[in-house]
Amino acid sequence: MLTDKQKNEVKELIQRRITDSENELQLLKQLTAAVAPDNSIGRISRMDAINNKSVNEAAYHKTRKRLQQLKNVQEEVDNSTFGTCLRCGKPIAYERILIMPEKRVCVHCST
């Protein structure tokens, strides 16, 4: 079980990460905007732009998924089950919660 102080710490941490992820999503959204069908940038740089676009799109989906996980977990911090592994039911190390608050399983169950 987490103490109230720890819960508040985790809540602040999650809130910060949500803000960060939202900022990152905005940036990635701009980067994944349609590649202009403009011949002036040249064929090679256009291919570069398309490659970067798929990299950024992958990052966008990953960040969006993480943001959703963070939002889900944000609502659960006050539940008595928070900090307990969803798979084996053992307590999750507080250090691990601080590093990856969106993960709901302990280090042993995550592999």
Residues at the site binding Zn ion, with contacts judged by CB under 5 A: 85, 87-88, 106, 109
What is the C-alpha to C-alpha distance for residues 90 and 93, in angstroms, rounded to an integer? 9
Nearer to Zn ion (CB atom), residue 67 or residue 106 = 106
Q: Which residue has tokens 């999503």?
A: 25
Q: How far is the CB of 59 from Zn ion (least distance, A)?
A: 29
CB of 85 to Zn ion, least distance (A): 3
Chain Cα centroid distance, residue 43: 34
SS3 of residue 24 by DSSP = helix
Minimum CB separation from Zn ion for residue 88, in Å?
3
